[in-house]
Structure 1
Amino acid sequence: MKPIAEAYKDFPILTRTHRGKRIAYLDSGATTQIPVPVMKALETHMANHNGNPHRGAHVLAMEASEAYEGTRDVVQRFINARKREEIIFTRNTTESLNLIAHSYALKHIKAGDKIVITVAEHHANLVTWQFVCRVTGATLEYMYLDETGHIKDGEMDKIDASTKIVSFAHVSNVLGMEFPVKELVERAHAVGAIAILDGAQSAPHQAIDVQALDCDFFVFSGHKMCASQGIGVVYGKYHLLEDMDPFLFGGDMIEYVKEQTTTFNEVPYKFEAGTPNAHGAVTLKAAIEYLEQFGMDAIHEYEQELVRYVLPKLAAMPHIHLLGSANPEEKHGVIAFTVDDVHPHDVATIMDSHGVCLRSGHHCAQPLGAYYGVPASNRISMYIYTKKEDLDQFLEALKTVRPTMGLSE
């Protein structure tokens, strides 16, 4: 296995300086940086194999098809899907959830049904279900959390006989905490509902086995795991995908087209209309193979080591308040916090002047912020190229925030 301590050397952007400071990139939950092997894979493909997949009998089209479908095989292995046909490519996690909403939910959900999610969901896994409920007359119900980010006692009882979909984040993009997947999936299946898992913040950071998870759908994005932006994945159990209607219409997702009628291609191609993001697929394959050099279990443990290093120091600072659990063992490389009397955007601007890149805002989870009475916060998120020196730089810069605003330390 490749040593994770050396990973940062593969990311040229991390050698940049900003305002005379070395960049400490702590916004990997938004998008990760891209290592040299992934860049080289795309360069090689564009220089030698660039063509339109599934659309030609010439050498470049066939090589492009081979590269694109090769990524499907790699993703199948990466998440341990039963069949390669259970892997569908999209633009991102958001489009993946929209595909499920349009192709599955609008067909199967009706008035009187219920969709259950947590109050901590990303807008992609919340606004989407608001739409489905508005169109179908179904009800959207929330499972609420305690002050440490755990689902409150009794809230899972909302998953009842009228529930048809239970959709939730594997790991919260704000709280950095893993929800109880096994129990939620089992409760969903016990009442005949499907379970949808948003893996945007888990697939890049830990080993995923969709068969062991037993979720009906699993979605994630390439740009959060060292691939380029614009490539995402839907995993779905084959019998569900086979029963679903296409999401988009056009080229490549058809079988035969007549003047008034069309028959559609087989799974997964009926969900991949138009020219695909073949370049994104190339980077996704290269990114997965890059990460697997370190081992997903090792990546997870390394990030836990970083959390154990920084979280107690952050929690001990005056005027700092954490969102969710303060237990390092419950955080998965994501820590959100507020600073007394300083708006998160001001915090981020001051931190930027020290070369520290972090997130500010509502993190696309406004209902969670409203529930906790915290409309905005700051967030640091770590990855394989994060070093303890980055976290030290963050902590030192954070000490300057309140004094810079004319407040006491």
Structure 2
Amino acid sequence: MYLKKYGIISIGSSMKKIAYIGSLGLLGIITTEFGVIGILPQIADYYHIPIEKAGTLLSAFALVIALAGPLMTLWLSGINRKTLMAVSISIFLITGVVSSLSPPFWLLLVVRMLPAFLQPVYISTAIAAATGAAHKKDAHKMMAIVLSGISLATVTTIPLATWLAGIYNSWQLSFVVQTVVSAVALIAIIAALPSMPATDKPSYGTQLKILTRPSFLACCAMIVCMTSAMFTTYSYFADYLGKVNSMSPNRISIMLLLFGAAGVPGNFLAGKLLSRSVKGAMAASLVAITSISVGIYYSPLLSVPLIIVWGLLHTPCFLTGQAYMIEAAPEAPGFANSLSISFGNLGVSLGTAVSGWVITTLGIHQAPWAMLAFGILALLLMGIKEVLAVKERRFVVAESVAAPAL
């Protein structure tokens, strides 16, 4: 609506421009968060620490998002959206610079945690900006464009960072890639985005009320378990392929590229399913990501077809999870979106931690069983959520029928 008010170009073209710039910023954010996955073995060797401790670079980042994300999103929801996006990306840029200088491990961990406070703020703001003046039928398309930064990162910058780190035997180059992407995104935000005052901020009460619904809380728990399933094995992707399948760093970077490339058509298929049924797309994603864990474990070598199928099923879970969460709370979509991000990152932290424990006690080859367990739990929680939602709708209908008699 702000675009009409301030007379800034046509709605259709402006929404797409905002969505693509939002996607570029998300590319930098996801590269920062998940770019360490391909270089964890190198970081562990450099600092002389076990792989599970190196994994805290991922799990601690995700845990900060989970704990601080919703509160930060609520607190900052009234600030100009362009300002929020620019400040958020600036902190990611600073993090990349400091990390590339090989600081002590404790400092590397701290500087990685700092931008995590604003990660869900950026994503929620970018989605709100891109969908703010779009027609209802185009809202999912705009959201998909913004979130395409996730799949784009998995197919470009993350494997590129891993490849460069392997070629030059320098994990620091991975952080250089992150810095460059964040810098480009910051320039695009400052130079190309219009000022976007947050004129449609809902009350705190309206937003927080969704946390009183059992069905929504079950949905949150389902998101945690789904993301935990996704990251039990993916968090240790490089270490798994290196130790279980004896792959070289160069070949691992190629596998990461194939994995990410498969996510692009996966996102397209997920978008098609979401346009038909959000519940159906969510259920299909859960069944698929749960089933692939068996293939990962029993394959003596992670073949190229299996890597492609895994990537095809992995990436769409981000999109379907957020769409499912927003559908569960239509009266507060922005807050629901930030909760989806936060609970999803809680799942990243939980999945990485549990898998780290499994690796320490049973060996890295057993990690897919943790993936299977979390996937089954997520399916059960989705069923519970749907049962609770039906009961809540019946209660609302009963109240509305009884109201005139009072």
Length-normalised TM-score, structure 2: 0.26
- If each structure's helix is expressed as a fraction of its own residues, which one has the higher value? 2
- Higher relative contact order by CA 8 Å / sep ≥ 6: 1 or 2? 2
The TM-score with structure 1 as length reference comes to 0.26
Please state which structure has a larger fraction of its residues in strand: 1
Larger radius of gyration: 1
